[in-house]
Structure 1
Amino acid sequence: MLAAANIIAIMAAITKEEKWLLIPAMEPDRKMMVSSKNYHETYLKEWAIYVTKLLFTTSPNEVERQIADMKSGI
């Protein structure tokens, strides 16, 4: 009986949808609500766009800002 209750509790915990509110440090107005159901479709797309922009920046001013951001811990 106890084993069956444990199995039911574990299944409920695994199938439960989790939700998170993500707030970017650099753009706090761009809050994004994601859940365990749509995590890959929303967050990863935004993250990939951000990383691509960060990697392909060629402006010397932008590079200086990025270095300052890294030093400040952002």
Structure 2
Amino acid sequence: MYKSNNLGAILHKLRSKLSAKRFLFSMPSVIQVKINHIINHNVIESNKVIINHIFTSLVLAHSSFFISISS
């Protein structure tokens, strides 16, 4: 009984990790789409610069985070 519960817990952890990795892969494109949507709604020029800066920071953070996971 204990072993089967333990196996279930391990499988659950694996599924969670796979979901997290899929989310990490999709995150930048989702953010890009949202930012493009905001920019296309006639946002003031200065806000475009701020939004692009935030997006760049997020992509850099995402890639360095993924590199640290994979290495």
Q: TM-score, normalised by structure 1?
A: 0.30
Structure holding more helix per residue: 2
Larger radius of gyration: 1
Higher relative contact order (CA 8 A, sep 6+): 2
